Amino acid sequence: MGSGKSTVGALLAERLGVPYRDTDADIVAAEGRPISDIFVDEGEPYFRELERQAVAAAVAEHAGVLALGGGAVLDAGTRALLSGLPVAYLSMDVEEAVRRVGLGAARPLLAVNPRRQWRELMEARRHLYTEVARVVVATDDRTPEEVAQAVLDALELKDV
Ligand SMILES: Nc1ncnc2c1ncn2[C@@H]1O[C@H](COP(=O)(O)OP(=O)(O)OP(=O)(O)O)[C@@H](O)[C@H]1O
Ligand SMILES: O=C(O)C1=C[C@@H](O)[C@@H](O)[C@H](O)C1
Ligand SMILES: [Mg+2]
C-alpha cells in the first residue's frame, strides 16, 4: 500500500514504450464509486471478486505494465492468474509507508491504528507477495526513477 506501484508502474511503462494500466482504477471506473465505498457497502470478499475479474481481464487483453491493488495477492484465483508472469514486488518498511502516505483513513484497511494494522497486514501478506513475485525490489531511500531502473535490471528488461 503506497509502495509506489502506480508511480513506478507508469514510469516503467514510459521507459518500455508500452501502455500502463492499474486494476484499482479499472474497478473504480467500472463501479463508478471509490474503493472505500465498495469495501463499506459490499465488504472485502466482494471487492476481491471484482479484483480477480479485473486482473483476469487485464492479463488477457493488456500488453504492458499492470499495477495491482495492494491486497490482490490474498485471492488464490488472482495468484493463479499471475503465475509465470514477470511480477515485481515493491517492498518498503513501515516508516517509509508513514512518510509516503501517512497511513491515512483513505485506505479502508488502515482506518484504525494504522501503524499496527500496517505491520499486521504485512505479516499476513509478505509470504504471498514473495510467492507471486519473480523479483523483490526494495523501495526505501530510492526515488521512483531509481526503483523503476531497479525493476528493469532485476527483470532483465531493456528500455527503449
Ligand atoms: N520511491 C518513492 N520515494 C518517495 N515517494 C514515493 C516513491 N514512490 C511513490 N512515492 C509516493 O508515495 C505515494 C504512494 O505512491 P503510489 O500511489 O504510487 O503507491 P501505490 O503502491 O500505487 O499505492 P496504492 O496501494 O494505494 O495503490 C505517492 O505520493 C507517491 O508520489
Ligand atoms: O492493500 C489492500 O488490501 C488494498 C490496497 C489498494 O490498492 C486497494 O486495492 C484497496 O484499498 C485494498
Ligand atoms: Mg496504486
Calculate how far, in angstroms, residue 30's C-alpha sits from the geometric centre of ligand 3.
Answer: 16
- Decide if 116 is inside a domain: yes
Q: According to the model, what pLDDT value does residue 114 have?
A: 74
pTM, entire model: 0.91
Contact call for residues 1 and 125 (beta carbons, < 8 A): no
Rounded distance, CA 77 to CA 12, Å? 26
Pairing of β 88-91 and β 65-67 = unpaired
Instruction: Report how many domains make up the chain.
Output: 1
Q: According to the model, what pLDDT value does residue 105 have?
A: 52
Give the ipTM.
0.94
- Decide if 160 is inside a domain: no
- Decide if 159 is inside a domain: no
- Decide if 50 is inside a domain: yes
Task: Find the ligand nearest to 109 CA.
Answer: 2
- Decide if 57 is inside a domain: yes
- Cβ–ligand 1 distance for 5 under 6 Å, the answer yes
Q: According to the model, what pLDDT value does residue 95 have?
A: 83
**14: CB partners within 8 A, 6+ apart:** 20
Task: Find the ligand nearest to 99 CA.
Answer: 1
Rounded distance, CA 71 to CA 50, Å? 12
Domain that holds residue 62: 5-154
Q: According to the model, what pLDDT value does residue 124 have?
A: 92
Rounded distance, CA 26 to CA 32, Å? 10
- Cβ–ligand 1 distance for 24 under 6 Å, the answer yes
- Decide if 100 is inside a domain: yes
Q: According to the model, what pLDDT value does residue 155 have?
A: 95
Q: According to the model, what pLDDT value does residue 110 have?
A: 62
User: Taking the chain (160 residues) in consecutive chunks of 10 residues, what is each chunk's mean pLDDT?
Assistant: 89 96 97 96 97 98 95 97 96 84 60 78 94 96 96 86
CATH number of 88's domain: 3.40.50.300
